[in-house]
Amino acid sequence: MRDHAHLLRPSDPEFDEVGEVELTGLITELLEGLGEDVRREGLVKSPERIERSLRFLTSGYESSVEEVVNGALFAAEASEMVVVKGIEFYSLCEHHMLPFFGTAHIGYVPGDTILGLSKFARVVDVFARRMQVQERMTTQIADALERVLAPQGLAVVTEASHLCMMMRGVEKQGSTTRTSAMRGSFHDDGRTRQEFLEAIR
Ligand code: ZN
């Protein structure tokens, strides 16, 4: 059973029992290695809490875009641009395992298929809830939506603050990072791209 702990999701009934066994000891060692007394009151339950939290923050490994869009794909009735802006996301930078977070904006011109609007946020979470770099996350969201929607064009823009820059290193508190992926008509046609960029401003 324990061998499969890494396959369990926080929602699985066995997760509490098996999942925590897997990482709690390692997290205890980590805290000790940092010089902490893991027996003091405030920390006694922390390794379990930290594991639970980490499992949630990396639950994207256990989900897939196909699963998320299942049942929410519909026939397109028009080919006007659809823009979903300001989708909040929280991810972990893979270099420091510190959060980076911000918003994602998605636009597309449908081919034959549209996706229920609420699903875009869930597609973003599939890729945000992993160890990531922002550039790759943006590309993966675009690749996945391109695959399931086969749109005429698609754009994904993400804007994020990185705690690894804000809390350590260069300590540039105010800086945000913007990455984008432009596909099809958003790549080829300057006016389509401009319309999208103005819509998300
Ligand atoms: Zn980092």
- Is pLDDT above 50 for 26? yes
Is the pLDDT assigned to residue 18 strictly greater than 70? Answer: no
Q: What would the mean pLDDT of 54-70 be, rounded to a whole number? A: 95
Residue holding tokens 């298929």?
Answer: 113
Render pLDDT for 75-101 as a digit per residue (tens, 0 to 9): 999 889 999 999 999 999 999 999 999
Q: What does the pLDDT read at residue 13?
A: 54
Could you please report the per-residue DSSP string of 116-141? -TTHHHHHHHHHHSSEE-HHHHHHHH
Residues 6 or more apart in contact with residue 34 via CB below 8 angstroms: none
The token pair at 112 is: 């034959």
Q: Give me the CATH code for the 70-199 domain, please.
A: 3.30.1130.10
Q: How far is CA 106 from CA 32, 35, 38, 177, in A?
A: 43, 44, 44, 16
- Could you tell me the maximum CA-CA distance found in the chain, to the nearest angstrom? 62
Per-chain mean pLDDT for the chain: 90
pLDDT at 1 over 50: no
- In angstroms, the CA 58 to CA 161 distance is 19
For residue 135, the CA-to-ligand 1 centroid distance in Å is 13
Q: Which residue has the higher pLDDT, 46 or 175?
A: 46
Token pair recorded at residue 145: 């939506």
CA dist., res. 52 & res. 130, Å (int): 14
* CA 185 / ligand 1 centre spacing (Å): 33
Q: Sketch the domain layout of the chain as residue ranges.
A: 13-57, 70-199
Instruction: Assess whether pLDDT exceeds 60 at residue 111.
Output: yes
Catalytic sites, residue numbers: 93-96, 134, 162, 164
Region 13-57: CATH code: 1.10.286
CA 58 / ligand 1 centre spacing (Å): 16
Sheet with 82-93, edge to edge strand ranges:
131-132, 82-93, 99-109, 153-162, 177-184
pTM above 0.75, yes or no: yes
